[in-house]
Structure 1
Amino acid sequence: MLQLKDNFKNWTSGNDIIDEFIQQSQLNAVCYINYIEWIPFEKFQNITYIAEGGFGKVYAAEWPEGNIEYWDIEDQKWYRYHYNKYALKSLNNSSDISSDFLNEFMQKKIGKLRQLASGLLDIHNAGLVHKDFHSGNILFNIDPVISDLGMCQPANKQTVKEEGIYGVLPYMAPEVLRGHQYTKAADIYSFGIIINELLSEEIPFNDIPHDKFLAIKVCNGLRPNISKDVPKLLVDLITKCWDAEIDNRPTTNELHQLLKKWVYELRKVKNVEGWKSNEICSQVDECNKLGKKKFEISKSSKGKSDNIQTHPQAIYTSRLLNFKNLPKPVNSSDLSSCQLNSGNFTLTIFILKSIY
């Protein structure tokens, strides 16, 4: 996303907190659907009032420029999907607007994870395992789609080879790194890494070499950082997915049903009285309050935007790996965490949603 970073100087919302939040989402995005873009209001056309609720007004509008689809290498510019129709939701003068905004953003993320879990469930219900499940094999258009099924095979087929295994090291289960049979539980481990990548907005192990030393550390319980802004229910799910003990990981159906339940609860709870009392919504709200405080602190510094670098030996394409004499996988109780900048502000902001 270096092209997005180079464009920081060409736009501003007029609010430092919003700018920082948008920049962080762009710097940490792994695909176009995972980040926010600032759109000046004058770029919208044919704006039509739809309705008004307890928290603001809803409009329909056209955005001729359209959202980004991909970077055109030959023309060195972004290719955009033109003339989409969008919904604009205004949150007027809310004293807790950042919480409202982040709650909706978290709901969308969990919804995408539920869709991915549904795709993985289809694969597993067909008696197959993916064997190369990582964020680079997820395609986003309207909905996320699991791609690159070239290594997909029957779950009961024994194919461990002496020359090594193929995959992207940060997403590979420790038992697979040791040369054991690839199972559905190994796909679940990979899903745990992906869940954390999306929610914590940090690419796993991007600052260290992807070599045998990392493989040893993974077997000894090292896992990616989990942001303090991730709700505890989701932290618990992530840690279960990447548990060193295969039998402790949830099944694909359990994973899908849990995410489906949370999506439903997050959609139904918002009313004119605020958040209703259920666990996932309360945790999302509390985590956003924590994030707001850290975002406020970040205003006095440059933040981490200019310090995000990927180690030259951090490799995120599938390759042949062959590690000998790795230790038996164990869990570690030492969970470190990264910080997600957030903030507290009051203004009118429009949240953009594509209408398909």
Structure 2
Amino acid sequence: KLSLLECIAFDLKIIHSHKLIHRDLHSGNILLATFQSAYIADLGLSTMVNTKSNNKVYGILPYIAPEVLYNGIYKMESDVYSFGIIAYEIVSSLQAYNNIPHDIYLQRMIYNGLRPRIPKHTPQLVTELIIKCWSAQPDQRPTSVEIYDIINTWNNDILNNRSTEIVTQIEEANKMRVSNMPTSSHINSSYPEEIYVSMQFDHLNTTGTGNVKLLESFNTIILIKYIFLLIKRKSQ
């Protein structure tokens, strides 16, 4: 899994080195060459850094950074957020928000801080990197160069069987994963509103009195709906 992440991080580093922003980075745009090799594809929506945006949000909701959901402005840090979601999916083998409808309520919840729940058996260093990537503050996210360097170092430690923290954590995580393996298969609830294809929609920072009043009422509605989803999830 770390080999896949290293390949994706390397491609993202190359994209950013050419002053490009992908703008639609998600797992569907990751092409697998082997089980340990992957490539970033579909640069059709990519733009140069500092290119004036039309402030339209385009992509798959779970992978879109909160600041983009709010104002529709893409930056390199937005790609890093998307990488964090992809990294979560690779280490957890789950799609992000796979049991929540992908609607305006989820859009608002992501902006307000909702993130996928990283499995406990994930190595702590990997967990910390993912959390940094999807930080609500773009300037607190690592750069694509930093991400690649970190994961490349981890993989070198593993290949050379070095006694480093990441190697120890992976060994412990593998033991925990085996001991916690479910005895029966469990299928997550799904919703027809789950949309894993790129689409265009309005950002949250819309103008107009009607939209502002509607957004003000979202917090209460979202809180109630989210509590209901948590209760339903725990009862499964």
TM range, smaller chain = 0.7 to 0.9
Counterpart mapping for 1:8-27 below 5 A: none
Counterpart mapping for 1:266-277 below 5 A: 266-269=158-161, 277=163
1:226 is aligned to: 118
2:104 is aligned to: 212
Alignment partners' CA distance in 1, 2:132 and 2:78: 12
Alignment partners' CA distance in 1, 2:178 and 2:204: 46
Alignment partners' CA distance in 2, 1:324 and 1:268: 48
Cα deviation, residue 267, structure 1: 0.8
Which structure has the larger Rg?
1
Counterpart mapping for 1:318-329 below 5 A: 318-325=198-205
Cα deviation, residue 310, structure 1: 2.9
Counterpart mapping for 1:48-127 below 5 A: 109-127=1-19
Alignment partners' CA distance in 2, 1:313 and 1:158: 32
Q: Which runs of 5 or more structure 2 residues have no equivalent in the other structure?
A: 206-214, 217-229
Match of 1:303 among 179, 185, 192: 185
The answer to whether residue 174 in structure 2 is matched with residue 294 in structure 1 is no
Alignment partners' CA distance in 1, 2:189 and 2:38: 26
Between the aligned residues of both structures, percent identity stands at 39
1:262 is aligned to: 154
- CA offsets 1:146-195 (integer angstroms, 9 cap, x no match): 1111101101101133xx31110000000000124200000000000000
**Are the equivalent residues in 1 in contact too, given 2:69–2:204 (CA < 8 A)?**
no
Match of 1:141 among 16, 26, 33: 33
2:226 is aligned to: none
Cα deviation, residue 285, structure 1: 1.1
**Are the equivalent residues in 2 in contact too, given 1:212–1:323 (CA < 8 A)?**
no
Match of 2:46 among 134, 152, 155: 152
- CA offsets 1:251-280 (integer angstroms, 9 cap, x no match): 1100000000000001111xxxxxx53100
**Are the equivalent residues in 2 in contact too, given 1:134–1:171 (CA < 8 A)?**
yes
**Are the equivalent residues in 1 in contact too, given 2:57–2:203 (CA < 8 A)?**
no
- Indicate the larger mover: 182-191 or 318-327: 318-327
Cα deviation, residue 226, structure 1: 0.5
Alignment partners' CA distance in 1, 2:28 and 2:127: 22
2:86 is aligned to: 194
1:169 is aligned to: 61
Alignment partners' CA distance in 2, 1:145 and 1:291: 28
**Are the equivalent residues in 1 in contact too, given 2:16–2:144 (CA < 8 A)?**
yes
**Are the equivalent residues in 1 in contact too, given 2:102–2:194 (CA < 8 A)?**
yes
1:278 is aligned to: 164
Match of 1:248 among 123, 133, 140: 140
SS in 2 for 1:259: helix
Cα deviation, residue 207, structure 1: 1.1
- CA offsets 1:94-131 (integer angstroms, 9 cap, x no match): xxxxxxxxxxxxxxx10111011110111100010000
Match of 2:71 among 163, 179, 182: 179
Alignment partners' CA distance in 2, 1:160 and 1:175: 15
User: Which AA in structure 1 matches 2:193?
Assistant: Q
- Indicate the larger mover: 207-216 or 168-177: 207-216
The answer to whether residue 201 in structure 2 is matched with residue 312 in structure 1 is no
- CA offsets 1:44-97 (integer angstroms, 9 cap, x no match): xxxxxxxxxxxxxxxxxxxxxxxxxxxxxxxxxxxxxxxxxxxxxxxxxxxxxx
Cα deviation, residue 219, structure 1: 1.1
Alignment partners' CA distance in 1, 2:9 and 2:172: 26
2:210 is aligned to: none
**Are the equivalent residues in 2 in contact too, given 1:138–1:146 (CA < 8 A)?**
yes
Greater per-residue strand proportion:
1
SS in 1 for 2:139: helix
User: Which AA in structure 2 matches 1:324?
Assistant: L
User: Which AA in structure 2 matches 1:259?
Assistant: I
Cα deviation, residue 134, structure 1: 0.1
- CA offsets 1:230-249 (integer angstroms, 9 cap, x no match): 10000000000000001100
Alignment partners' CA distance in 2, 1:152 and 1:291: 38
**Are the equivalent residues in 1 in contact too, given 2:124–2:169 (CA < 8 A)?**
yes
Q: TM-score, normalised by structure 1?
A: 0.56
- Cα RMSD of the aligned pairs, angstroms, is 1.8
Alignment partners' CA distance in 2, 1:324 and 1:233: 33
